[in-house]
Structure 1
Amino acid sequence: MNKIIEHRLESLKAEYEAGQKLLAEYETKQRNLRETLLRISGAIQVLEEVITEENSEANGEVSQPDDTLAKMEPLSELAASEEGT
């Protein structure tokens, strides 16, 4: 009986270690994805500002920044909502 328990204990420890490694990999992927999304949102903002400026110059207007990104959910709130799920 003792051998069965020891074998099960070793099996559970191995599963636990594998789970810890997988969790660390997913956390790294999540962090990388957040960084990528942040860069993309920055690029979107820059391109929207360029388009707004070009349109304003073409129409002889004073440019006003587009507030599309201001209406979007910030990444920090997105991250918090994902962590809660």
Structure 2
Amino acid sequence: MVFDAFEAVLEMPDVALLVADKMAEPGRQKSAENLKRSAFNDRCDWKSLARTPKRLTATQKQCKKLNRLAYENERKDLRSRIR
């Protein structure tokens, strides 16, 4: 029960940063850093920062397709030479 209450309090980023500062004073630096990192990650919306897939132009699609076909043919040639 106490753990749940403490966890609920730490979910508030401002409170978590204060607790981390207090933890760092007596020498629990590593734990304080972990708590600060956790609070920072909770505060940030990482999904909104993700890159969206960019659309290729028709020329880029054709180039990609031809490169893929050329790579497949090279692999087939190498396999036939090895056998």
TM bucket normalised to smaller: 0.3 to 0.5
Q: Which has the higher contact order (CA 8 A, sep 6+)?
A: 1
Give the structure-1-normalised TM-score.
Answer: 0.32
Give the structure-2-normalised TM-score.
Answer: 0.32
Which structure has the larger Rg over C-alpha atoms? 2
